[in-house]
Amino acid sequence: AQSVTQLGSHVSVSEGALVLLRCNYSSSVPPYLFWYVQYPNQGLQLLLKYTSAATLVKGINGFEAEFKKSETSFHLTKPSAHMSDAAEYFCAVSEVFGNEKLTFGTGTRLTIIP
Amino acid sequence: DAGVIQSPRHEVTEMGQEVTLRCKPISGHDYLFWYRQTMMRGLELLIYFNNNVPIDDSGMPEDRFSAKMPNASFSTLKIQPSEPRDSAVYFCASRPGTGGSNQPQHFGDGTRLSIL
């Protein structure tokens, strides 16, 4: 069964510093991978997705993620944090073949320090 | 374009009452998903539909929960009778049928349910 692990339920970075949110997946074959962001009292919004076309994926709001098969990772980065990036971030995986479910990680709450 | 629309946004009711949550997916989307989010259990998939047909309801916690999709533009999640442990935020999401499972799901803003 597929799964994702997000290391660190809370991450704090200073404004202007690098943001790094970690995600590792477990799947028998390279899956599709997604990062979602959730702002307070809102639903989840797609940041970016990996679908095997390119290992480095660029998303909205300056975020990007790199798929590394050898490390089974899909970490999310942003070179310079902005106050508006404060939110909860979820990594998710779906199988290329099979059921249509998305399996979500437990989330990482990102706090930006002024 | 209108996104996924959920109603009500907030619901407070007493234990034992029937609760009905509503969802209007994005027009043209063939898949509809119901999730529950709590601090303790995170985001859980309850049930999903394809072309109005329930495909997997293995996440529905108990018989008190039921979901229907009478047509392509409307779905309900019902809890009867409700219990305090059902308090959570319930999300509906939809996605297109074409393109496979690499298509992202689009989420509504959720219904915050409190059972007293």
B116 and B14 in contact (C-beta within 8 Å)?
Answer: yes
Decide if A100 and B102 are in contact by the 8 Å CB cutoff: no
Per-residue pLDDT tens for A41-87?
899 999 999 987 788 999 999 999 999 988 999 999 999 999 999 99
Query: Hey, what are B63's tokens?
Result: 């018989």
From B112's Cα to the closest Cα of chain A, the distance in A is: 9
From B56's Cα to the closest Cα of chain A, the distance in A is: 9
Name which of A56, A61, A62 is nearest A33 in CA terms: A56
Decide if B106 and A95 are in contact by the 8 Å CB cutoff: no
pLDDT at A95: 74
d(CA B21, CA B115): 13
- Report chain A's mean pLDDT, rounded to a whole number: 91
pLDDT at A102: 87
Looking at chain B, the number of H-run helices and the number of E-run strands are: 0, 11
Pairing of strands A56-58, A64-68: antiparallel
pLDDT at A98: 64
Whether cis (ω within 30° of 0) applies to the bond prior to B81 is yes
Can you give the three-state secondary structure of A16-82, one letter per residue?
A: CCCEEECCEEECCCCCEEEEEEECCCCCEEEEEEECCCCCEEECHHHCEEEEECCCCEEEEEECCCC
Name which of A7, A11, A9, A5 is nearest A111 in CA terms: A11
From A88's Cα to the closest Cα of chain B, the distance in A is: 12
Quickly count: other Cβ atoms within 10 Å of residue B22's Cβ. 16
Length of chain B in terms of residues written: 116
Q: Does A96 score more than 70 pLDDT?
A: no
Decide if B45 and A102 are in contact by the 8 Å CB cutoff: yes
Confidence band, pLDDT 50/70/90 cuts, at residue A94: confident
Q: Does B90 score more than 80 pLDDT?
A: yes
